[in-house]
Amino acid sequence: MKKLLIVAISLLCIICAGCFEVNSELTITDTGAVIGHYKFIGTAALTQPIEDWKNQAKKLNPNIKIKAIEQGDLRGYELVTEYPDIETFAQSASKLYLAHEGKNKGISRHKSWFFDEYDFDFYWTSSSAQTAFNATVNQALLSRAVLDTTINLPYAVDTTNADEVSDGGKFLKWHLAHIAINGGEKSMQARFKIWHKDKVFLTAAVELMLLAATIFFLIKARSEELENLGKDYRFKRNVFAGLFVALSLIAAYFLFTPIAFTAADIISVATQS
């Protein structure tokens, strides 16, 4: 019996080696648009689950772009979805990105003058019966199976628990194959900013004009011999200098005050019980 079990396990390992690859990739642009790119390929034994996955994705999003692909002996599909902004994406039907009560918050957004800060808090779980047989087979599956979630950001991430971080903090990857095969749960978190470039440039331009006016009236006040004109220039110098300092302090407050997310900031849909 033991020899038969070993043969069965060995055969299953050969069949399942490199049996599937699943990738879920999100690309966030500097304007806040979201492009979702998903790939699911596998051996002939997984043809039906892959077809079911494709059909379910199309049912949830009729506008999804689907392309059949081949990678060696693996067959499957690439799916692409596009959203105009993160808010629209947060309302999508994918369970990976939803809020699960007591587990995660999904997607939160905190608006500010210079940027919107986002907190991605995703949750993945899978159950698997843990027996000696399963443990041996699972290790064989895990050695070749690929199940990853990645996020590409336009700017460096502020904080994250990603398994891999590269490209200056703009590429994040979480490995989920061991969770899918062995069972368990995993939290995927990333906090980042989407900058409002127009408001940054506007604020900088106003600051430069105030500084230039301050310097101009400072020079005029020193060079003007008439007392009345000198007082007028000094007054204007003080006004523009005060405005420059005030705007600088306000800008510093918006830029450097830590963001504390609250329940009111959550924009994800909650899962239904």
- Lowest-confidence pick of 37-51, 185-199, 223-237, 254-268: 223-237
Q: In whole angstroms, what is the distance from residue 21 CA to residue 73 CA?
A: 12
What are the backbone dihedrals phi and psi of residue 57, each rounded to the nearest 5 degrees, phi first?
A: -65, -40
Which has more confidence, 138 or 145? 145
Model pLDDT, residue 180: 75
Count the domains in the chain. Answer: 2
Shared domain check, 155 and 41 = yes
Of 35, 258, 267, 37, which is closest to residue 154 (Cα–Cα)? 35
Shared domain check, 251 and 139 = no
Shared domain check, 206 and 181 = no
Shared domain check, 157 and 204 = no
Final residue before a domain boundary, out of 167, 195, 223: 195
Q: Which phi-psi region, left, alpha or beta, contains residue 99 (left: φ > 0; alpha: ψ -120 to 50)?
A: beta
In a domain, 208, yes or no: yes
- Spatial neighbors of 97 by CB under 8 A, at least 6 apart, are 89, 90, 106, 107, 122, 268
pLDDT of 83 above 70 = yes
Instruction: List alpha helices for the chain, DSSP H.
Output: 2-16, 47-60, 86-90, 132-142, 177-182, 197-223, 227-256
Final residue before a domain boundary, out of 145, 174, 195: 195
Shared domain check, 166 and 60 = yes
The token pair that represents 8 in the structure block: 């069965």
Average pLDDT in the chain = 82
Q: In whole angstroms, what is the distance from residue 201 CA to residue 219 CA?
A: 27
The token pair that represents 214 in the structure block: 């301050």
Model pLDDT, residue 14: 38
Shared domain check, 230 and 134 = no
Shared domain check, 20 and 153 = yes
- Report whether 137 contacts 177 (CB < 8 A): no
Shared domain check, 239 and 134 = no
- Report whether 245 contacts 214 (CB < 8 A): no
pLDDT of 97 above 90 = no
Shared domain check, 204 and 113 = no
Q: Within 13 Å of residue 150, how many CA atoms lie on the same side as its CB?
A: 20
The distance of Cα 189 from the centroid of its chain, to the nearest Å, equals 8
In a domain, 41, yes or no: yes
In a domain, 43, yes or no: yes
- Report whether 107 contacts 268 (CB < 8 A): yes
Model pLDDT, residue 182: 76
Q: pLDDT exceeding 90 applies to what percent of the chain?
A: 47
Shared domain check, 109 and 181 = yes
Q: Within 13 Å of residue 268, how many CA atoms lie on the same side as its CB?
A: 24
pLDDT band at 132 (very low <50, low <70, confident <90, very high): very low
pLDDT band at 146 (very low <50, low <70, confident <90, very high): confident
pLDDT band at 128 (very low <50, low <70, confident <90, very high): low
Residue 254 bridge partners (DSSP)? none
The amino acid occupying position 207 is: E
- Integer distance in angstroms from the first to the last C-alpha of the chain? 44
Q: In whole angstroms, what is the distance from residue 189 CA to residue 85 CA?
A: 19
- Domain range enclosing 185: 2-195
Model pLDDT, residue 226: 56
pLDDT band at 228 (very low <50, low <70, confident <90, very high): low
